[in-house]
Amino acid sequence: MEQQIGLWVGAFLTMGIISFLYKDNPWYKLTEAIFVGISAGYWFVALFWDNIVGKFWIGVFDRGDYYLLVGAVLGLLMLMRLAPKIGWISRWPLSFVVGAISGFYLLNYFSSNVMLQVQSTIMPLFSPQFNDPLFTSSAGNIISNLFIAGGTFTGLVYFFFSKEHKGAFGGAAKIGIWVIMITFGASFGYTVMSRMSLLIGRMYFIFGEWLNLIG
């Protein structure tokens, strides 16, 4: 019985969301309000049990990880904005978060987005590996290597902001944006196909599980 109720509620809400394809209507508004309200409540409870209880309370009082108190104090400072006179204190934890995150990610992004990217781009163009005899790669691999090297080079040129895109530099930047757009096209097609599987899942729920029209 509970399962049947759940099924009907699920179908009602799914149809409500899909009804947005026609136009904004009361059914969609109701579904949207339920979705937003329930998800906000769910996340409040989830974050409370995960962070305040799971990480802070158990961490400090069960495991004795007293350094977590620093985070708790910063969290409390955030609440200072509720008192208008000392609301400015809430900027301290914000500054801490933004500063610490920027510093922390500087190294991570530099490693992954710069160093490793350059390492992958620098490769022998005409042989499978360094020290292999020249022109031992297949024609397909050589073209692929040239495309990767040229695409990365021209793509980088496009993101160069200090020089006007004119002349040969502008030509390279134009090739770069073409490479980027071709990549976007491929990515678009791939993602649309993967989204189709989500649609199929919902359609299966409606026509299979709810209406029993497909086996």
Identify residues 58-77 at the interface with another protein (CB under 8 A). none
Of 98, 143, 199, 211, the residue at the interface with another protein (CB under 8 A) is 98
Q: Does residue 199 belong to the site contacting another protein (CB under 8 A)?
A: no
| 13 touching another protein, by CB under 8 A | no
Q: Which of residues 107-126 bind another protein (CB under 8 A)?
A: 107, 109-112, 114-116, 118-126
CA-based angle 67:68:69, to the nearest 5? 85
- 7 binds another protein, rule: CB under 8 A: no
CA distance 85 to 83: 6
92 is a contact residue toward another protein (CB under 8 A)? no
Single out the segment in contact with another protein by CB under 8 A; choices: 56-64, 65-73, 130-138, 204-212: 130-138
Nearer to another protein, 183 or 211 (CB): 183
Per CB under 8 A, does 17 bind another protein?
yes
Among 102, 138, 197, 212, binds another protein (CB under 8 A): 102
Contact range with another protein by CB under 8 A, out of 4-12, 48-56, 159-167, 202-210: 159-167
Among residue numbers 38 through 57, which ones bind another protein (CB under 8 A)? 38-40, 42-43, 47
